[in-house]
Amino acid sequence: MLPFKTLIETDKSLKLPVYQQIANRLIGLIQEGILKPGLFLPGSRILAEQLALHRKTVIAAYEELISQDWLVAVPRKGVMVAANLPVIRPRSFRKTVSPYGSEAAFAFHAVPTVPVPLPPPTTGNPLVVNDGFPDARLAPLSAWVRECRSVIESPRYYKLLMYGDATGSEALRREMQTYLTNTRGLSITIDNVMITRGAQMAIYLAAAMIIKKDDYVIVGSPNYFFADLCFEQLGARLIHVPVDEDGIDVAAIEQLCSSRKIKMLYLVTHHHHPTTVTLSAARRMKLLEVIRKYKLPVIEDDYDYDFHYSSAPILPLASADHGGNVIYIGSFTKSLGLSIRIGFMIAPVDFIAGSASLRRLMDLRGDNLTEQALANLLADGTIERHLKKSNKIYRERRDLLCGLLQSRLGDAVQFTVPAGGMAIWLRFSKKISLKKLSEKASRMGMRITSGEQYHYGTTSQNGIRFGFASLNNKEIAEAVAILEKLVK
Amino acid sequence: MLPFKTLIETDKSLKLPVYQQIANRLIGLIQEGILKPGLFLPGSRILAEQLALHRKTVIAAYEELISQDWLVAVPRKGVMVAANLPVIRPRSFRKTVSPYGSEAAFAFHAVPTVPVPLPPPTTGNPLVVNDGFPDARLAPLSAWVRECRSVIESPRYYKLLMYGDATGSEALRREMQTYLTNTRGLSITIDNVMITRGAQMAIYLAAAMIIKKDDYVIVGSPNYFFADLCFEQLGARLIHVPVDEDGIDVAAIEQLCSSRKIKMLYLVTHHHHPTTVTLSAARRMKLLEVIRKYKLPVIEDDYDYDFHYSSAPILPLASADHGGNVIYIGSFTKSLGLSIRIGFMIAPVDFIAGSASLRRLMDLRGDNLTEQALANLLADGTIERHLKKSNKIYRERRDLLCGLLQSRLGDAVQFTVPAGGMAIWLRFSKKISLKKLSEKASRMGMRITSGEQYHYGTTSQNGIRFGFASLNNKEIAEAVAILEKLVK
């Protein structure tokens, strides 16, 4: 008889019933070729004795395996491994080694990634300088949980939760239409609105709908690195056009359009990522002309619109006469300061319908409960009040940080005070190695990026985005004090 | 002077301040070429009179536009449209027509879709027969909201909410590893686990990592339609292999593997979609041999594992010796019965890392708050209790529905009682048109699919999935009564 005592281990502390542990192990032994088709297993009493278990437990395991066709009960002879199973040459008497190692047995595609998008880890509770996140401590979390509760307590909530559309909850799309009309001057119906998981999904969907392999796509130099990576993943050839203090170089875009087939333009009109510059009025108008003339599909990424301190935000291209070529993308993740990722895409109706079909294949639909709760927060003014409050606080933080950087770091850094958004584009003097700075900061309890990701595919400016929104006054002072020690 | 009174409309009931409405409209007029570069605007007092507004409002609008470089203040002369703006030939004196019409101005890809995946709409509060959803009325919604609150009240929650990884929350991955080890016999570490938005995202990611254009992919006939559509979208050529009462035809799979390069196999081992059959023990072992022999990458979609009534669930291929070729995918959406979509992918470490890079490009990361709350519900046993309770209720519903279908519909339908899951694969007699039946049902207040989606790319069996889990006893009786009237 096989050494069942060593072959079958059970553990009463596990949640899985012991009889099922035995059954699973027996299946393993059959699959490993140790228990061969046609082999008779020991009677339940004998196996129970060997395993020091109650006989009923073994009987339950055998019955389970009989019902699953692994074993067959042969009258007056006992329980046999099913004869119709293929014969396997046993590998060893050891327990099965996990087939999930560190490497797949098959080939798969490489996905483009950016080097070091995150600062090196530090121990404890580090001070984290991110590249422009909101402060989750200010987020209307209680209001959000309250609205979740109110949704699930509403009559027929269950139908709301069970059935949904890939374009997003109708209530949220309606609120979003009103909100975008009021704040961005867009002229849209709810059929032009699609809710996505954060702006990133909207960028991916829109680009995947437009780009074919080897298509030319124009982006800024530098550009938001996750957009560059996304377009490259979709097979695009990127053409980087310089971004200066007036935004992207529109004359260069026109020149490119006139000389070859450009499939798409991606740009951040407001608070460009990473440099925070805003496209000037003159370039904006010229660009609209180019877009109309060449029927150039454009993704206008306006992730930062709701945060503006020095003047009112400038209306997006999407609000002007772009001839139906501009896909407008934004985010509520930043506005809420929650971990809940909600973005949106505004586009012609047929493009929204196609994007929804594509979204269905990769994510079926969004989370109706969250979307409904957000719609309620938009409708009752919570979001508006939260934005007003955070704009005031973030403006103070921006001013504090800019003042300290100026007075403490002096010539070591260079920056323009951003008109809005959540980060400063902070360029360091050429003699400072950001890689070393990041490593040293880590040892002093501060996580700050080495900035390599901002220069993905473009020329380096030795700069990083320094997010001020998520740090309170004390944390800003601490961060600058650490930087001061490191650059002097 | 231009007729500013008709060109500029303001509305005090809007949330947008009136001065900003004026500024936005003036930008529109500049962009439309009505206000030309170099033109002097009327003084603020004159414009205020025309518009019947306070002079300060007009001044605020002018100042806003000056700060945005649309207008220039010329000392002693007034306010002028900036001379550096491009000259636009005016189109008309009408307000801008919305550029967001029903059709995009540019070309974009078509995405494969299934015909009529949803039954025609009915008015009021229809009885909905879905294709196998859980009952959201049973979902542990209060517990979930409670855990959300507990997460946001925990110290340093804000760092948890702000920073996350594309593979999912560490707490949830750890709980998931334990859960899958205990229930599925998987031998994995947390680095083999990735949390996704529902199983669909895991399917898309895994397939996108493996498939290149024109690759051959084997699927069942019939097959889960959103998987077929997903692989086609990624450029695959599908080979449909028959599914009978023992599951997919493994001999046919081997024959195909020996005759040409097969890039991937997708299968639902448990409660196959749509037919609900489970892969037999003999075929399962044979298939493992084929997988190892041909190093065939497999997506094993086990969306329904947690719901089994007639015997314990059969262990997945992923728990056996598959040589590192099986990517195991499942869902918590069904287990929770929430609108919150959480799925998972189990794969070798390098494949998980690649999939996480790809996910970052289309969705950055998941929702940490939700993931943390779910981890808590797994840890404190809420999920286990919920599954126990729903298995009992769903089993009763299955039995009630099967009994009623047998006694009331008789020869008009044919089905096998499913061992688990949430739906019956209900085939109708050839003389019944499911399209007409669906339309008639709609007029009687019941939404039920015409079933075309189940036969996407394959031969029709004149069948639909009839979800029993989400209907209570009364609703099941009502649904069968309506069907009875329609088939007789």
When CB atoms are compared, the residue of A197, A209, A295 closest to B109 is: A209
Which CATH number do you get for residue A52?
1.10.10.10
8-state DSSP, A74: E
Please give the pLDDT value at position B105: 85
Q: Whole-prediction pTM value? A: 0.88
8-state DSSP, A170: H
When CB atoms are compared, the residue of A28, A100, A358 closest to B324 is: A100
Q: Assess whether B214 and B189 both reside in one domain.
A: yes
Are B337 and B136 in contact, with CB atoms under 8 Å apart?
yes
Query: Residue B120: inside a domain, yes or no?
Result: no
Are B342 and A315 in contact, with CB atoms under 8 Å apart?
no
ipTM of the prediction: 0.87
Q: Assess whether B271 and B343 both reside in one domain.
A: yes
> Does the distance separating the beta carbons of A312 and B104 come in below 8 Å?
no
Q: Which of B367, B383, B399 is the last residue of a domain?
A: B383
Q: In the predicted model, is pLDDT for residue A96 greater than 50?
A: no
CA distance A334 to A131: 12
- Shortest Cα distance, chain B CAs vs residue A290, angstroms: 12
Query: Residue B176: inside a domain, yes or no?
Result: yes
For residue A325, the chain B residues in CB contact (below 8 A) are 99, 104-106
Question: A482: closest CA among A424, A429, A405?
Answer: A405
CA distance A160 to A55: 50
> Does the distance separating the beta carbons of A324 and B104 come in below 8 Å?
yes
Instruction: Using a CB–CB cutoff of 8 Å, tell me whether B183 touches chain A.
Output: yes
Q: Assess whether B218 and B361 both reside in one domain.
A: yes
At B455-466, the pLDDT tens digits run: 887 777 899 999
> Does the distance separating the beta carbons of B198 and A315 come in below 8 Å?
no
Q: Assess whether B375 and B392 both reside in one domain.
A: no
At A278-304, the pLDDT tens digits run: 999 889 999 999 999 999 999 999 998
Which CATH number do you get for residue A389?
3.90.1150.10
Q: Average pLDDT, stretch B217-246?
A: 95
pLDDT band at B95 (very low <50, low <70, confident <90, very high): very low
Cβ-count burial of A115 within 10 angstroms (0-12 exposed, 13-18 middle, 19+ buried)?
Answer: exposed
- Shortest Cα distance, chain B CAs vs residue A460, angstroms: 23
Across A119-128, A352-361, B62-71, B165-174, least confident range? A119-128
Please give the pLDDT value at position B92: 42
The count of structural domains within chain B is 3
> Does the distance separating the beta carbons of B347 and A285 come in below 8 Å?
no
Q: Assess whether A149 and A60 both reside in one domain.
A: no
Q: Which residue of A has its CA nearest to B279?
A: A68
| Parent domain of A389 | 127-133+385-487
Q: In the predicted model, is pLDDT for residue B347 greater than 50?
A: yes
Please give the pLDDT value at position A375: 94
> Does the distance separating the beta carbons of B159 and A128 come in below 8 Å?
yes
Instruction: Using a CB–CB cutoff of 8 Å, tell me whether A167 touches chain B.
Output: no
Q: Assess whether B320 and B457 both reside in one domain.
A: no
Please give the pLDDT value at position B91: 46
Q: Which of A344, A362, A380 is the last residue of a domain?
A: A380
8-state DSSP, A138: G
At A45-69, the pLDDT tens digits run: 999 998 899 999 999 999 988 888 8
For residue A98, the chain B residues in CB contact (below 8 A) are 187-188
Cβ-count burial of A231 within 10 angstroms (0-12 exposed, 13-18 middle, 19+ buried)?
Answer: buried
Please give the pLDDT value at position A91: 46
CA distance B276 to B259: 30
| A93: amino acid identity, one letter | F
CA distance A43 to A61: 12
Question: B159: closest CA among A470, A475, A143?
Answer: A470
- Shortest Cα distance, chain B CAs vs residue A109, angstroms: 5
Q: In the predicted model, is pLDDT for residue A329 greater than 60?
A: yes
- Tell me which H or E stretch contains A421: none
When CB atoms are compared, the residue of A111, A338, A362 closest to B354 is: A111
Are A400 and A476 in contact, with CB atoms under 8 Å apart?
yes
Q: Which of A347, A380, A413 is the last residue of a domain?
A: A380
Q: In the predicted model, is pLDDT for residue A267 greater than 80?
A: yes
Query: Residue B206: inside a domain, yes or no?
Result: yes
pLDDT band at A373 (very low <50, low <70, confident <90, very high): very high
Q: In the predicted model, is pLDDT for residue A123 greater than 70?
A: no
Q: Assess whether B374 and B401 both reside in one domain.
A: no
Query: Residue A286: inside a domain, yes or no?
Result: yes
Q: Assess whether A275 and A311 both reside in one domain.
A: yes
Query: Residue B185: inside a domain, yes or no?
Result: yes
Length of chain A: 488
Q: Which residue of B has its CA nearest to A99?
A: B324
Query: Residue B272: inside a domain, yes or no?
Result: yes
- Beta-carbon neighbour count of residue A275 at 10 Å? 24
Q: Average pLDDT, whole number, for chain A?
A: 89
Q: In the predicted model, is pLDDT for residue A319 greater than 80?
A: yes
> Does the distance separating the beta carbons of A351 and B108 come in below 8 Å?
yes
Please give the pLDDT value at position A94: 37
Its sign, for the CA torsion B442, B444, B447, B450, is negative
At B182-206, the pLDDT tens digits run: 788 788 899 999 999 999 999 999 9
Please give the pLDDT value at position A136: 87
Residues within 8 A of A (CB atoms), B 27-46 only? 27-28, 30-32
- Beta-carbon neighbour count of residue A85 at 10 Å? 22
For residue A132, the chain B residues in CB contact (below 8 A) are none
CA distance B388 to B312: 13
Q: Assess whether B335 and B459 both reside in one domain.
A: no
Cβ-count burial of B189 within 10 angstroms (0-12 exposed, 13-18 middle, 19+ buried)?
Answer: middle
Q: Which residue of B has its CA nearest to A207?
A: B108
Q: Assess whether B157 and B261 both reside in one domain.
A: yes
Instruction: Using a CB–CB cutoff of 8 Å, tell me whether A354 touches chain B.
Output: yes
At A436-477, the pLDDT tens digits run: 999 899 889 899 998 888 888 777 789 999 999 999 999 999
When CB atoms are compared, the residue of B14, B209, B280 closest to A69 is: B280
Q: In the predicted model, is pLDDT for residue A223 greater than 90?
A: yes
- Angle in degrees, 0-180, between the axes of helices B170-184 and B368-379, rounded to the nearest 10: 40
CA distance A26 to A34: 9
At A3-14, the pLDDT tens digits run: 788 788 888 887
Q: Assess whether B37 and B57 both reside in one domain.
A: yes
pLDDT band at B334 (very low <50, low <70, confident <90, very high): confident
Instruction: Using a CB–CB cutoff of 8 Å, tell me whether A447 touches chain B.
Output: no
More confident residue, B251 or A106: B251
- Measured in whole angstroms, the distance separating CA A30 from the mean position of its chain's CA atoms is 43
At A159-211, the pLDDT tens digits run: 777 777 899 999 999 999 988 887 887 888 999 999 999 999 999 999 999 99
Please give the pLDDT value at position B87: 67
Q: In the predicted model, is pLDDT for residue A392 greater than 60?
A: yes
Instruction: Using a CB–CB cutoff of 8 Å, tell me whether B416 touches chain A.
Output: no
Q: Which residues contact A3 (CB under 8 A, 6 or more apart)?
A: none
Instruction: Using a CB–CB cutoff of 8 Å, tell me whether A311 touches chain B.
Output: yes
Tokens representing A438 are 């990041």
Q: Average pLDDT, stretch B417-428?
A: 94
Across A138-142, B76-80, B115-119, B364-368, least confident range? B115-119
Q: Average pLDDT, stretch B469-476?
A: 96
Query: Residue A110: inside a domain, yes or no?
Result: no
Are A418 and A396 in contact, with CB atoms under 8 Å apart?
no
Q: Assess whether B410 and B363 both reside in one domain.
A: no
Please give the pLDDT value at position A115: 66
CA distance A58 to A77: 17
- Shortest Cα distance, chain A CAs vs residue B52, angstroms: 21
Please give the pLDDT value at position B123: 65
Please give the pLDDT value at position B94: 37
CA distance A42 to B291: 32
Please give the pLDDT value at position B93: 40
Query: Residue B293: inside a domain, yes or no?
Result: yes
